[in-house]
Structure 1
Amino acid sequence: MKPVVRAAYQTALSKAQATEAAGDLDGAFAELERAHILGQRHLLPHIVTHLRMLRIGWRRRDGREIAGQVVRLIATLPGFLTGWVPKGNPGGANISALKPVPLPADLQSLLGDFSVGRDVAKRVVVYAGTAALAFGALVVMDLQRGREAAEIERAWQARQPQRLADFGTTRTLEVTPVVNFRARQGLKAEAGVSYLIKTDTQTILFDLGFNRHDDAISPLQHNMEVLGIDRVKLDAVFLSHAHRDHLGGAAWENARSFGFGPTQPPLGATRAIAPVALSYPGSTVEVADRPTALMPGVASTGPIARRLFIGRIDEQALVIHLEGRGLVAIVGCGHQTMPKLMQHIRDNFDAPLIGLIGDVHYPHPEGRLWMYGIDVQRRLASGAGVWAPLGIEQIGAELQAFAGQLQFLALGSHDTSDEVLDLAEKTIGERFQRVVAGEPIRVIATTARLPAP
């Protein structure tokens, strides 16, 4: 708003306030009509004027005016966004809200050069330019993603297996989902991931959930309390990758760290294992940058790189060697892609992969996590870029591969849609289980029972 127009607008508002205070509602409304003419091109002045008109309508007990002002208040935002307002319209309910009116003679010098058509044209140019810039930025970013993805793919094709020597076995394996999109009664659900893993000798907390709303007590903390999980008795915290819905929140992702909800309690003797360099107060975070034996019967695959639209991600999975049977993989998000993860396990481990438990990033037809109207999981964190999200044909082929190679499959719904879970159940049958927070999955050396008793 030009300074001279703003001054005239503020004068009209002040006169309206003084006149209303003196009990002259008609005189106050007339001043507000003048303020409306002066301020209707600008969002906040326009809203303020109609709110004051509404107040006078209420004091008059004028139903027509009250209804008219409510309608006009609703229309202020579309009018501002499009640039179209009825020039000279005084804003009262006695005149159509769409009707232009000749300007009062004393306002000609202030508003005579105002053109509705010019304001509309300016907005068209601004919006079109903004859209073009945004589209161009997306194209450039996706081209960069494509170049980096090609480099990562070349490195993948040139890789040399780093076969892991015998790292022991376990006779029992219990995996309890602590945080996921579905949860049993009494637990908090969210689009984040955490699993409690118990072997014969070890207790591992795999990922730390999201706490998207920065709750004082995070879903992870709440669920650990309900499930009787004692943090100080953990042998290790294993982080699949450095995304906020696995590190405990956006603040920890930004700080290249991790937390149990909003806090970072001392880890003490608990090991912390990540695929990339992270920090944690008072502790050294181990980096498993290749297939690595961690403890009896437990190993990391080491990270497999992927260039997503939102950036590069290096994700590791946990491998449990079940005595006499083979390997069970615990997966956090599946950004590696399942074909690469399964090939990587074949290349680097001697025992066969018999089962997979976790989240594998199948957000089709849409994901669980939306930000600013964008389907983040589908458009920015899967597939071959923002223009080529993961398709159902590829998902179906990967499920068929699971059916042909695995003895059992348990999938979470953190980043996999209900439609894909239905397809997985149809494809794999009784060997398939849906992950639900609070419902443990138990596997032993002689049999696999899904679901667990």
Structure 2
Amino acid sequence: MFKAIETDSLFASFVKDTSNALELYKQYKINVMKSDSTWNNDQQRLFKIQNFGYTNKFELIPLVENLNDGKTFRKAGGISYLIRTDNFTILFDTGIDDDSIECVLRYNLDLLGIDVCEIDAIVISHNHGDHQNNWKWINDKTFINSKNKSILPEMNIFVPCDSLNLKIPALLFNDPTKICKGVYTTGIIKAPLFFWPTQEQGLIINVKDKGLIIVTGCGHQTVDKLLLRCKRISDLPIYGILGGIHFPIYGDSEKYMGYLITGRLPWEPLTVSDVNKKIELIKKQNVKLIGISTHDSSVKAIEAFKKAFSKEYKDLKTGAWIVVK
């Protein structure tokens, strides 16, 4: 391990002072053990959800994504998805931008002709700025209605961690939790990232006669655990996976992105071979729909998924609906 640190100039350039590397490594190993223990305990005590419920239709439209559908949408970092079921609308994440007055997602909602008052609940996947916009939307004009009144007090807001001091009512549930008929969170799953340990939740939606669709923010909790969590709480088949799954291949992405926040040690970055192994894992589920966010997976990873799932793959583009019914 020390040899890896000593010979890794990129690691040295990032941490500046490598004398603290051993403590970082020790804390990382402690975090791994803690997260593994929590994961194993959670999996063992969870049971199948009875009467999961279903929705006849599932619609997802990216409000914030790297790609767009050709209109004059504003661009921002991270992701934000609007999800519609039969009788319920969920905003999943809010992206990030530098506009201090209004979130990009509100501008894009208005451009699409979608009334912000349609949103029934907000689910934030994890506490990274590119998925919660540094919580600016709590006080800006993003969720102001036509009467210049905030609609936030009227909706459930599901957050991924405590001690946020958001000063608005927010809901935190460790276990898979019902959002509406046919829709549950995955529950909180911890990810022991080397520098920034985090915990993340996704969504699981049951579409009638199809199966479960997993919607993820970054996928720090790993594809493996997302699939295992679905199997733990339901016997329904996994129909699809949409969102970020965090496959930034080293050398094919932003300098540090493919290096530090992959859930591995910095000097053991992701490779094409690693991505192919995950593809094989997903293919065993016989999924019929898959779309990977380009905000946290690199070009080679996306290309590998498109090749492996030529018929099942859908691009996630701002303003482009994905509809299952």
What are the superposed Cα offsets for residues 379-427 of structure 1, whole Å, 9 maximum, x if unpaired?
2211312222222222111112222311211111010112111110111
Greater mean deviation of Cα atoms: 260-269 or 193-202: 260-269
What are the superposed Cα offsets for residues 110-148 of structure 1, whole Å, 9 maximum, x if unpaired?
xxxxxxxxxxxxxxxxxxx99996112234213311221
Report if aligned partners of 1:304, 1:315 keep a CA contact under 8 Å in 2: yes
Which one of 298, 302, 314 corresponds to residue 421 of structure 1? 302
Greater mean deviation of Cα atoms: 423-432 or 197-206: 423-432
Greater mean deviation of Cα atoms: 295-304 or 153-162: 153-162
Does residue 40 of structure 2 align to residue 162 of structure 1? no
Q: Unaligned regions of 5+ residues in structure 1, if any?
A: 1-128, 253-257, 445-453
Distance, in Å, in 1 between the alignment partners of 2:116 and 2:244 is: 23
Partner amino acid, structure 2, of 1:201: N
Which one of 421, 440, 444 corresponds to residue 321 of structure 2? 440
- Determine the structure 1 residue equivalent to 2:213: 328
- Determine the structure 1 residue equivalent to 2:8: none
- Determine the structure 1 residue equivalent to 2:232: 347
What are the superposed Cα offsets for residues 195-230 of structure 1, whole Å, 9 maximum, x if unpaired?
00000010111000011x345443222212211222
Partner amino acid, structure 2, of 1:199: T
Partner amino acid, structure 2, of 1:276: C
For residues 143 and 440 of structure 1, do their structure 2 counterparts lie closer, same or farther at Cα, with a shift above 3 Å needed?
Answer: same
Report if aligned partners of 2:250, 2:259 keep a CA contact under 8 Å in 1: no
- Determine the structure 2 residue equivalent to 1:98: none
Secondary structure, aligned partner of 2:108: helix
Does residue 281 of structure 2 align to residue 401 of structure 1? yes
Distance, in Å, in 2 between the alignment partners of 1:321 and 1:240 is: 19
Partner amino acid, structure 2, of 1:381: I
Report if aligned partners of 1:301, 1:317 keep a CA contact under 8 Å in 2: yes
Does residue 59 of structure 2 align to residue 179 of structure 1? no
Query: Which structure is richer in relative contact order (CA contacts within 8 A, separation 6 or more)?
Result: 2
Distance, in Å, in 2 between the alignment partners of 1:423 and 1:429 is: 10
Task: Give the 5 Å matches for 1:200-349.
Answer: 200-211=86-97, 213-214=98-99, 216-249=101-134, 252=135, 259=137, 265=143, 266=150, 267-277=152-162, 278-281=164-167, 283-349=168-234
Task: Give the 5 Å matches for 1:143-158.
Answer: 143-158=26-41
Distance, in Å, in 2 between the alignment partners of 1:382 and 1:144 is: 17
Q: Which of the two has greater helix per residue?
A: 1
Partner amino acid, structure 2, of 1:302: G
Report if aligned partners of 1:191, 1:245 keep a CA contact under 8 Å in 2: yes
1:158 deviates by: 4.0
Distance, in Å, in 2 between the alignment partners of 1:336 and 1:392 is: 19
Report if aligned partners of 1:181, 1:191 keep a CA contact under 8 Å in 2: yes
1:328 deviates by: 0.6
- Determine the structure 2 residue equivalent to 1:358: 243
- Determine the structure 1 residue equivalent to 2:146: none
Distance, in Å, in 2 between the alignment partners of 1:262 and 1:248 is: 11
Larger Rg: 1
Task: Give the 5 Å matches for 1:52-201.
Answer: 134-159=17-42, 160-163=44-47, 164-185=49-70, 186-201=72-87
- Determine the structure 2 residue equivalent to 1:96: none
For residues 378 and 230 of structure 1, do their structure 2 counterparts lie closer, same or farther at Cα, with a shift above 3 Å needed?
Answer: same
Partner amino acid, structure 2, of 1:432: Y
For residues 298 and 378 of structure 1, do their structure 2 counterparts lie closer, same or farther at Cα, with a shift above 3 Å needed?
Answer: same
Report if aligned partners of 2:64, 2:81 keep a CA contact under 8 Å in 1: yes
Secondary structure, aligned partner of 1:429: coil
Distance, in Å, in 2 between the alignment partners of 1:280 and 1:239 is: 13
Q: Which runs of 4+ in 1 moved over 4 A?
A: 129-133, 260-265
1:150 deviates by: 2.2
Distance, in Å, in 2 between the alignment partners of 1:276 and 1:132 is: 26
Query: When the two structures are superposed, what TM-score results if normalisation uses the length of structure 1?
Result: 0.62
Query: When the two structures are superposed, what TM-score results if normalisation uses the length of structure 2?
Result: 0.85
Instruction: Note the aligned Cα RMSD (angstroms).
Output: 2.4
Partner amino acid, structure 2, of 1:436: K
Secondary structure, aligned partner of 2:314: strand
For residues 135 and 381 of structure 1, do their structure 2 counterparts lie closer, same or farther at Cα, with a shift above 3 Å needed?
Answer: same
Partner amino acid, structure 1, of 2:225: K
What are the superposed Cα offsets for residues 337-381 of structure 1, whole Å, 9 maximum, x if unpaired?
00111011101223121111111101113576x5xxx51x32221
Partner amino acid, structure 2, of 1:268: P
Distance, in Å, in 2 between the alignment partners of 1:381 and 1:142 is: 14
Distance, in Å, in 1 between the alignment partners of 2:128 and 2:320 is: 25
Partner amino acid, structure 1, of 2:131: H
Distance, in Å, in 1 between the alignment partners of 2:94 and 2:307 is: 31
